[in-house]
Amino acid sequence: MKLLFMGTGTSYGIPVPGCGCPVCTSDDPRDKRLRTSILVTAADGTVLLLDTPPDLRTQCLRYGVKRIDGVLVSHDHADHVFGFDDLRAYTNRMPAPMPVWTSPRTAESLRRVFDYLGRPPLPGTSLARVELREVEEPFTYGPFRVTPLPVEHGRSFMTGWRIEADGRACVLITDCKRIPETTWPLCLGADLAVLDGLRPELHATHLSIGQAGELLLRMGAKRSYVIHLCHETSHVRADALLPEGIHPAYDGLGIRL
């Protein structure tokens, strides 16, 4: 199983338009962050995409993504779903609708926001041909076994994912403030764990970088990364705030498990 971090930034992305702060004007390429999405590829070539941010088209072109077989949607915030229509480039070439797994609550929201998805397209037009699959229990898809991980994200819940394939496991949680006790056992013993760490200071709906580091230590994965960073910290400073062996991810980071 291999992973590609196509976006590691918070909802604004970095640089923030119009901002002249040291991080937004940094020369370090790791301080340029598109909105969060992760590509997961199994040894047999099956590809799952985690989230469809507004930058999805740019990301697919930048990383030469040839194939997306299915999508996992974490929650309905704009920075995770507003690139949904970019899936058309892939669904147009698929013989059957592309499966999109998400929680019942997020599925309901997607049906409302993208209400045209269920209608037949007019001649000469195209729609993302997807099949929304509401999941609360583990499921299998090709070589993947996927377990939804409900976590608190401010006032609402979002879905993290434990993804297992080829004898490896990863835990990918993009927008978390607190992990409920019932979810904790599902986060342990992975080869890779990923959590959001928005900034050095505390935040109402996200973990801080320090909190993310503490939780990742508790998860005890062989490798651990922090994502969903905002412009209040550079990559270098975020790295210095994390425990040894835990690092911020950056756009374009590829990992083979």
Q: Which residues bind Zn ion (CB under 5 A)?
A: 16, 19, 21, 24, 77, 79, 175, 231
* Residue 123: count of CB within 10 angstroms of its CB: 5
Residue 234's Cβ-side half-sphere holds a number of Cα atoms within 13 Å equal to 12
- Min dist CB 252 to Zn ion, Å, is 19
55 or 175: whose CB is closer to Zn ion?
Answer: 175
- Min dist CB 145 to Zn ion, Å, is 25
Strands 130-134, 246-248: parallel, antiparallel or unpaired by DSSP? unpaired
138: CB partners within 8 A, 6+ apart: 145, 146, 147, 148
What span, in angstroms and rounded, lies between the C-alpha atoms of 235 and 155?
28
Sheet holding 47-50, edge to edge: 130-134, 98-102, 70-72, 47-50, 37-41, 2-7, 254-256
95 with 63: CB under 8 angstroms?
Answer: no
3 or 42: whose CB is closer to Zn ion?
Answer: 3
13 or 70: whose CB is closer to Zn ion?
Answer: 13
Tokens 């990923």, residue located: 194
127 or 153: whose CB is closer to Zn ion?
Answer: 153
16 or 94: whose CB is closer to Zn ion?
Answer: 16
- Min dist CB 239 to Zn ion, Å, is 18
- Min dist CB 21 to Zn ion, Å, is 3
- Min dist CB 256 to Zn ion, Å, is 26
- Min dist CB 76 to Zn ion, Å, is 8
Strands 223-227, 246-248: parallel, antiparallel or unpaired by DSSP? parallel
33 or 231: whose CB is closer to Zn ion?
Answer: 231
